Structure 1
Amino acid sequence: MRPIDILLAVAVNIAWGLNFAVTKLGLGEMPPMLLVALRYALTALLLSPWLKWPHGQFRQVAAISFTLGFLHFALMFTGLSGIDASVAAIAVQIQVPFSALLAFLIFRDRLGWRKALGGALAIGGIVLIAGAPHEAPDPFYLSLTILAALCWAVSAIQVKRLGQIDTMTLNAWIALLAVPQLLLGSAVIEGDRWGEVLDAGFWGWASVVYMAVAVTVFGYGLWYRLIQRYPVTTIMPLSLLAPTFGVAAGIFILGEPATLEKFIGGALTLIGVAIVILTPPEKPAEVAAKTDSAEA
C-alpha cells in the first residue's frame, strides 16, 4: 500500500474507534433510538446526491435498512448505553465470526478449523470480560450488543445477496429508510423523550454530526475506495485498529477502568477475529480434494 493510503486507513479506523466514546457521551444526553434516528437523518441529507432509485433491488435494500439501520443500531446504541464503550468496542467484533458462521450455513462457504478456532477464541474473550469479578458489564446490555453484532452479520449476508449496487447509494437508502423505523421504534419503546433532544447539550449534537460526517461519509467513503484499490486481505486486517482505538478512547477519554480481564479478553477476541479475517478461502481444487477424500 502507498504510505498515504496507509495513513488514510489508519485515520478511518481512528474515526471508527473514537465513535464508541463519542456515542457514549451522546447517549448521556439523548435516548438511543432518537440519537440513531437523528444520525441517519443527517446522513441521508449528506448522501442525497447518491439517492438514486435501486431498480429491481428496492425490497432487498428496504430489508437491509431494517436489519442494519434499525435492528443493529437500535440494539447497539441501547447496549452501549448500559456498558463501557471499551467493552462494546470489543464485544461487537463477534460480528466477524458470526458472519463466517452464517456464510457457512447459508452459502456453504468452507468454515475450516482455523475460522472455527478464531470464532471460539473471540467468544472466549467476551466470556472472560463478561465473567470478570470486578467491573463486570451488565449482562442484559452486553447481550443487546452481541445481538447487534448478529444483526450486522445477517445484514452482511443480505448485502452479499443484493448484487451490484453503488455503496454510497446503498448507504443513502439505508439512512433514509431507517429514520421512520427508528422514530416509530422510539415512540413505542422509549416513549415521548423529545424533551431530552431539545435539551441536549454539546455532546448530544456533536455525536450526531460526528457519526454522520466522520463515521459514515468520511469513514465508509474512504474505506470503500481503499477496498476497490487493494486486495481485501490487505485492507481488512487494518480494521482491527478500530476496536483497539475504541478501547483506548474508553479508557483515556471516558476514564473507564483498565482491568486485566478487559485486556486479556480483548486480546483473545481480537486474535480470534484476526484469524477469521486472515484465513484465506480455500481454492476449489482443495475443497474438491477434501470432499473426495471424505466420500472415499
Structure 2
Amino acid sequence: MPPKTQLDRLAIGMMVLFCTIWGVQQVAIKLANAGISPVWQAGLRSIGAALLVLAWAVGRRVRLFEADGSLPGGVLAGLLFAAEFALIFIGLQYTSASRGVIFLYTAPFFVALGAVWLLPHEHMRRTQWAGMALAFCGVLVLFGENLLGAAGEAWKGDLLIFCSAFFWAATTLTVKASALNRVSAEKTLLYQLVVSALILPPLALLMGEPGIFAPSPLVWASLAFQIVVVASASYLGWFWLVRQYPATRLSSFSFLTPVMGVLAGGVLLGEPLTPAVFAALGLVGSGIWIANRPPRRR
C-alpha cells in the first residue's frame, strides 16, 4: 500500500477509535494505580504487550530478525518511548493530571516543527497550523483553569511532562524518518516495547516504588485492558498508520484523546461532565477538520 498525502475515511475512523481507546486508558490507569505503582504498571504493560505482539507476529510469519537497517532507529525509538512514559509518571508525582494533559498535548506541535527538517514532503500550510492551534484551545478550555494557582513543586512536574511531549513527538518522527518506515508495524512496536520493558522495571526499583501492593480483579482487568487493547492492538494500528499517512495530519487527531478521557471518566466513573467538556469537543473537532482539510485547487 503506497503512502498517502491525505487522510481517508479508514485513517480518520481508526484515529477516532484509537483516541477513544487512549482516552479510556486514562481511566484504566487510575483504576490500576489503586493496586500497582505507576512505573511498575508501565513496565508490566510493556512486558505483557511485547509477548502478545511477538506471538501475533510469529503467527503471521512477520519477518522480525532480518537485517534491514532498522536496528539503530528501533533502539532510538525504544529509548524515546521509555523516556516518554517514565517522565510522565515521574512528573505526575509533582503536578496534577489535568495540568499534565496541557503540557503533554503540545506534542503535535513538536511533530509539526520537526517535520520541517525531517519530513519536508509533509509541508505544513497556514490553515494546518491554525487548525492545530484551535484544537489545542479546546484542550485549554477543558483544563486551562488548572494552570492558575499552581503551588510548591508543580513546575517540576510540568517541565518533566513537557519534556515527555518532546519525546513522544521524537518517537513519531523517528519512526517516520528512519528505516522503521519500511518495516512492519509489528517490528516497529516490538523495538519500543522490548526496550521499555528492559528499562522501566529497574527504574521503578530505583525510584523505590512498591510494585504490586493491592491486587484485585478490577486492578488486573485494568492492566489487561492496557496490555491487550492499548499497547498491543491500538499501537500496532497507530504505527501502521504512521507508515502510510502524513505524521503531521495524524498527530492533530491526538487532541481528541484528553476530551475522550474526560467523557470516559463521566461515563465509567461518574465524574461530572460540564458544558466545558462539550465546548472543548467542538473546538477540537473543528480544529482537526481545519488541519486536515485538503488545499483548495487553483
TM-score scaled by structure 2? 0.72
Could you say which residue in structure 2 is the equivalent of 1:293?
Answer: none
Change (3 A) 1:144 1:270: farther
Q: CA deviation at 1:39?
A: 0.2
Match of 1:120 among 133, 144, 151: 133
Could you say which residue in structure 2 is the equivalent of 1:214?
Answer: 229
AA partner of residue 177 (structure 2)? R
Matched, 1:157 2:183: no
Deviation sequence 1:235-257 (CA, Å, 0-9, x none): 88876654443220123323444
Tell me, in whole angstroms, the C-alpha distance in 2 between the residues paired with 1:102 and 1:178: 23
Deviation sequence 1:104-154 (CA, Å, 0-9, x none): 144445333223323433444445555417997866545544432221111
Could you say which residue in structure 1 is the equivalent of 2:196?
Answer: 178
Matched, 1:132 2:132: no
Matched, 1:67 2:80: yes
Could you say which residue in structure 2 is the equivalent of 1:104?
Answer: 116
Residues 108-117 or 16-25, more deviating: 108-117
Q: CA deviation at 1:74?
A: 1.8
RMSD: 4.2
Structure 1, unaligned stretches of length 5 or more? Answer: 287-296
| Aligned residues with identical type, % of pairs | 24
The total of aligned residue pairs comes to 278
Tell me, in whole angstroms, the C-alpha distance in 1 between the residues paired with 2:119 and 2:242: 22
AA partner of residue 73 (structure 2)? Q
Q: CA deviation at 1:37?
A: 0.4
Structure 2, unaligned stretches of length 5 or more? Answer: 1-6, 58-62
Change (3 A) 1:169 1:45: same
Tell me, in whole angstroms, the C-alpha distance in 2 between the residues paired with 1:262 and 1:88: 17
Residues 122-131 or 248-257, more deviating: 122-131
Paired residues of 1:67 and 1:151 also in contact (CA < 8 A): yes
Could you say which residue in structure 2 is the equivalent of 1:147?
Answer: 163
Change (3 A) 1:162 1:91: same
Paired residues of 1:96 and 1:273 also in contact (CA < 8 A): no
Paired residues of 2:36 and 2:211 also in contact (CA < 8 A): yes
Paired residues of 1:33 and 1:183 also in contact (CA < 8 A): yes
Change (3 A) 1:179 1:233: closer
TM-score scaled by structure 1? 0.73
